[in-house]
């Protein structure tokens, strides 16, 4: 999930204790633990903390600019990340993934965070540390989980499934499946990109999108608006395709369809806009 054009490829039980946490003093080799730092953390500089979660599946490199603001907000970032990733991992098995967390200003409005997944499966998430402590606590307790669930879903689809895809159909369904998984992880979350259009607008946009579904290079227009396409149009369409598929396949979950090809999901959804 992204805020602005960068790439085709954008947020139930508590976790057990984390597998390992390795803390590094900024600009120093000092460690508070003798646990060996994973290669991804060792190569990620500057580094303030390294979190290994979900029995070693996820390695998270945390940038030093996040430590002071999250501490001021009264939230342990390492504990939050560990809890969130273990919760995600319990619902969505898959390959190991590296994750980078940093501070930044470009985030999704109202959430304080933005996520991004590279073609390699590497996940990055940016947190707005200029928020008030109250707003930052909300970001850390709700929206960071959305960003991580969304991007881990993309990562699994890229590394172990059909890929994020280059056609408009592939990308619409990939985003829709990830949004459905966000809600599976956090059922009470309200994702604004799933209801940005009226029902009539959605029908009109689907009618317009159908002849373009096999085309590439349309991500920014259809997901972020342009040339008459409203902002977040394809996110909403994709979520409703995934939701309709799951309604017609009650034994499936959003996690279980992460490896299902886009064309199969569309056909099985009976989606009409």
Q: Is the pLDDT of residue 176 over 70?
A: yes
DSSP codes, the chain: --SSSS----------S-SEEEEB-TTS--BS--SPPPHHHHHSSS-SEEEEETTTTEEEEE-GGGHHHHHHTT--HHHHHHHHHHHHHHHS----EEEEEEE-S---TTTSEEEEE-TTS-EEEEE-TTS-HHHHHHIIIIIHHHHHHHHHHHHHHHHHSS-S-SBHHHHHHHHHHHHHHHHHHSTT---GGGSSS-HHHHHHHHHHHGGGTT-BS-HHHHHH-BTTBPTTHHHHHHHHHHHHHHHH-TT--TTTTTTS-HHHHHHHHT---
pTM: 0.88
More reliable by pLDDT, 120 or 8: 120
Same domain, 32 and 127: yes
Q: Is the pLDDT of residue 11 over 60?
A: no
Residue 82 tokens read as 């560990």
Can you tell me the mean pLDDT for 107-134? 95
Phi/psi-derived region of residue 156, left when phi > 0, alpha when psi is between -120 and 50, beta in every other case: alpha
**Tokens 């996520």 — which residue?**
115
79: CB partners within 8 A, 6+ apart = 18
DSSP-assigned beta bridge partners for residue 101: 62, 125
Can you tell me the mean pLDDT for 196-212? 98
Q: Is the pLDDT of residue 8 over 80?
A: no
* Residue-level pLDDT at 4: 35
Q: Indicate the residue among 133, 160, 187 that finishes a domain.
A: 160
Least confident of 32-46, 148-162, 205-219: 32-46
Same domain, 43 and 150: yes
Same domain, 86 and 190: no
**pLDDT band, very low/low/confident/very high, at 1 (cuts 50, 70, 90):** low
Can you tell me the mean pLDDT for 63-72? 96
Same domain, 65 and 192: no
Assigned domain for 136 exists: yes
Q: What is the pLDDT of residues 82-120, one digit of tens each?
A: 999 999 999 999 999 999 999 999 999 999 999 999 999
* Residue-level pLDDT at 108: 94
Assigned domain for 1 exists: no
**Residue 259: how many CB atoms within 10 A of its CB?**
13
Q: Indicate the residue among 111, 140, 160 that finishes a domain.
A: 160
* Domain enclosing residue 129, as ranges: 20-160
Q: What is the CA radius of gyration of the chain?
A: 19
More reliable by pLDDT, 188 or 20: 188
* Average pLDDT score over the chain: 88
Q: Is the pLDDT of residue 170 over 70?
A: yes
Query: What span, in angstroms and rounded, lies between the C-alpha atoms of 11 and 179?
Result: 7
Q: What is the pLDDT of residues 13-64, one digit of tens each?
A: 222 222 233 332 222 223 333 345 789 999 999 999 999 999 999 999 999 9
Number of domains in the chain: 2
Assigned domain for 185 exists: yes
Same domain, 146 and 241: no
* Residue-level pLDDT at 16: 27
Assigned domain for 262 exists: yes
Assigned domain for 147 exists: yes
Taking every pair of Cα atoms in the chain, the longest distance, rounded to a whole number of angstroms, is 59
Q: Is the pLDDT of residue 74 over 80?
A: yes
């Amino acid at each position: 999930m992204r805020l602005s054009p960068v790439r085709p490829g954008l947020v139930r039980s508590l976790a057990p204790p984390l597998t390992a946490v390795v803390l590094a003093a900024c600009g120093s080799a000092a460690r508070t633990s003798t646990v060996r730092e994973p290669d991804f953390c060792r190569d990620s500089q500057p580094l303030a903390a390294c979190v290994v979660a979900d029995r070693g599946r996820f390695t998270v490199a945390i940038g030093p600019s996040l430590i002071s603001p999250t501490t001021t907000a009264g939230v342990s970032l390492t504990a939050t990340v560990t809890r969130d990733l273990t919760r995600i991992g319990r619902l969505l098995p898959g390959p190991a993934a590296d994750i980078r967390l940093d501070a930044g200003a470009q985030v999704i409005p109202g959430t304080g965070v933005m996520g991004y997944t590279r073609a390699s499966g590497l996940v990055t998430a940016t947190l707005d540390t200029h928020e008030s402590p109250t707003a930052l606590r909300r970001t850390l307790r709700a929206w960071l989980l959305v960003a991580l669930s969304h991007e881990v879903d993309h990562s699994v689809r890229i590394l172990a499934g059909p890929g994020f895809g280059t056609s408009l159909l592939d990308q619409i369904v990939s985003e829709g499946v990830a949004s459905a998984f966000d809600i599976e992880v956090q059922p009470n979350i309200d994702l604004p990109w799933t209801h940005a259009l009226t029902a009539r607008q959605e029908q009109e946009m689907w009618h317009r999108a159908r002849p373009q579904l096999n085309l590439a290079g349309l991500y920014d227009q259809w997901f972020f608006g342009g040339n008459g396409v409203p902002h977040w149009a394809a996110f909403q369409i994709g979520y409703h395709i995934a939701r309709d598929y799951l309604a017609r396949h009650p034994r499936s979950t959003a996690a279980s369809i992460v490896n299902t090809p886009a064309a199969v999901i569309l056909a099985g959804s009976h989606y009409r806009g």
